[in-house]
Amino acid sequence: MPITNQNLWRANANNNFIGSPLNDDLHSDLVIVGAGYSGLCAALHAAEQGMRVRVLEAHTVGHGGSGRNVGLVNAGLWTPPDEVETTLGHVAGNTLNYALAAAPDLVFSLIEKHQIECEPLRHGTLHCATNNAGLRQLTQRLAQQVKRQAPVTLLGASNTQQRTGSRRFLGALLDPRAGTVQPLSYALGLAQAAAKAGAVIHTQSPVLTHQHNGKHWLVNTAHGSITADKLIHATNAYDSLSPHSKAFTRVDYVQFATQPLTLQQRASVLPNGEGCWDTNQVMSSFRMDKSGRLIIGGVGSLDGRGKGTHINWAHRKLRALFPQITHYKFEYMWHGHIAMTNNHLPKITQLGTNGIRLYGYSGRGIGPGTLFGTAAAKWAFNGDEHPLPVAITNPKPETYTHVKASYFDMGATLSHWLSCRF
């Protein structure tokens, strides 16, 4: 099969969810815009608390980042925990760090509770050092994690080679709290669980406007409307309602999946199934899926002029990491948008009376989206802001978001053009 512009996760999803478009004028306690992890976890938990919940999704469940990501269920953010505390202050930073450290527990317990078939594998993740600077970075991260009693360990080069099957790394930070999932199947399973709990999910129903009329939220689609007491706006990087809000910088990330490797090949690449990413400034990732496909990812987009460069990079990267894989074909390639905030921290902003917006996971949204959505349901239920992992702030546009997006795009293309050539 030749490589196609197709998302592997969509092609082999374990679950299905077919909602119906909104074609009526209805009332609910809570309306949620966006059916990714954030919106679906909010819907599931609010419905479980007895709220009448409607979700409006512009396309299909998992159309956004939740159906396109790498599937690494990480504990914490990209931003090291000390930096989180410096940015938010000790108490708020500490609260967010501890909540996110437990986010994989939340994800894997939801999977267990609702029996979601999404290839869950909790064998840890490896953050791999590509050079001495990367190794120093990992040593600092290790110290910060150990200070917080996190069970992470720094592996040496030979141990890293044994686990990854690649000689390219000087070491790796192993985080056993983390793991991998089939990301779209996780989203579809959440949708099934939310619907079972009583939430109604309308797909193919793009929200055109939402406003508070002093009494209720009024949310309009082309063929219907919903009035509701509370609103959660959970569109993250895929927001079609306010695409010019400058709330974050959009960064694209592209992935390539091989055909299922042979048993012999599989024995020599990630035999234990950890999900991996590296310390390069222009980061890349690699993991296996359940059927033995090797998936390589990096910053970049398949739209526009960089496409050929990214495809060539993926081949060179695979051969550089795993020269033992002499015969392979890429069969799938796809990309998605990441919502990157200035300080790389997720945000909850006020959206008028009784409305909030969750966004800005900055490339780490499986655990955080699950956590933020779950906490937002508690807020919707009783208005209590206490369970939210970050304080609600007023929206503040970020500066130069378009310039930064182009910078990331061009930087990634240049880096991929140069990388693994020598």
Ligand X SMILES: Cc1cc2nc3c(=O)[nH]c(=O)nc-3n(C[C@H](O)[C@H](O)[C@H](O)COP(=O)(O)OP(=O)(O)OC[C@H]3O[C@@H](n4cnc5c(N)ncnc54)[C@H](O)[C@@H]3O)c2cc1C
In the complex, the smallest distance separating the C-beta of residue 264 from ligand X, rounded to whole angstroms, is: 28
Q: Is 120 in the site for ligand X (CB under 6 A)?
A: no
Rounded to the nearest 10 degrees, how much is the dihedral formed by the CA atoms of 99, 375, 248, 392? -100
Distance of closest approach, residue 44 Cβ to ligand X, in angstroms: 12
Nearer to ligand X, 207 or 270 (CB): 207
Q: What is the secondary structure of 180-191 as a DSSP string?
A: E--HHHHHHHHH
Q: Which is nearer to ligand X, 134 or 368 (CB)?
A: 368
Q: In the block, which residue shows the tokens 């917006």?
A: 357
Interface region with ligand X, contact rule CB under 6 A, candidates 82-90, 168-176, 237-245, 389-397: 237-245
Binding mask 283-312 for ligand X (x = CB under 6 A): ------------------------------
Min CB(66)–ligand X separation in Å: 3
239 in contact with ligand X (CB under 6 A)? yes
Give the binding range for ligand X (CB under 6 A) out of 135-143, 235-243, 264-272, 411-419.
235-243
Tokens of 23: 């074609």
Site for ligand X in 21-40 (CB under 6 A): 33-39
Paired strand residues for 358 = 348
> Which tokens belong to 177?
């709290």
The distance of closest approach from Cβ of residue 228 to ligand X in the complex, given in angstroms and rounded to an integer, is: 14
| CB hemisphere CA count around 320 (13 angstroms) | 16
Does residue 66 touch ligand X according to CB under 6 A?
Answer: yes
Stretch that binds ligand X, among 136-144, 315-323, 332-340, 374-382 (CB under 6 A): 332-340
Residues between 178 and 207 with contacts to ligand X, criterion CB under 6 A: 206-207
Minimum distance, C-beta of residue 224 to ligand X, in the bound complex (Å): 12
Least distance from ligand X to the Cβ atom of residue 359, Å:
7
Contact 238, 337 (CB under 8 A): yes
Minimum CB distance to ligand X smaller for 165 or for 297: 297
Binding residues with ligand X: total (CB under 6 A): 42
In the sheet with 125-129, reading across from the earlier edge strand, the strands are 153-155, 171-175, 125-129, 275-278, 284-288, 294-299, 249-258, 330-340
Assigned token pair, 319: 């051969």
Does the protein bind ligand X through residue 123 (CB under 6 A)? no
Using CB under 6 A, which of the segments 77-85, 193-201, 236-244, 402-410 binds ligand X? 236-244
C-beta of residue 138 within 8 angstroms of C-beta of residue 149: no
Quick one: which segment of 69-77, 126-134, 158-166, 384-392 binds ligand X (CB under 6 A)? 69-77
* DSSP track, 218-239: EEE-SS-EEEEEEEEE--GGG-
- Verify binding: residue 237, ligand X, rule CB under 6 A: yes
Cα atoms in the 13 Å half-sphere on the side-chain side of 122: 13
For ligand X, give the closer residue by CB, 68 or 266: 68
Asked whether position 93 contacts ligand X by CB under 6 A, the answer is no
Taking CB under 6 A as the rule, does residue 364 contact ligand X?
yes
**Cα gap 307→305, rounded to integer Å:** 6
Task: Specify the long-range contacts of residues 415-422, CB closer than 8 Å, at least 24 apart.
Answer: 415/281, 415/282, 415/299, 416/282, 416/298, 416/300, 416/306, 416/309, 416/310, 416/312, 416/313, 417/309, 417/313, 419/282, 419/313, 419/316, 419/317, 420/313, 420/316, 420/317, 420/319, 420/320, 421/316
What residues line the site for ligand X (CB under 6 A)?
33-39, 56-59, 63-66, 68-72, 74, 206-207, 234-241, 253, 336-338, 361, 363-367, 369
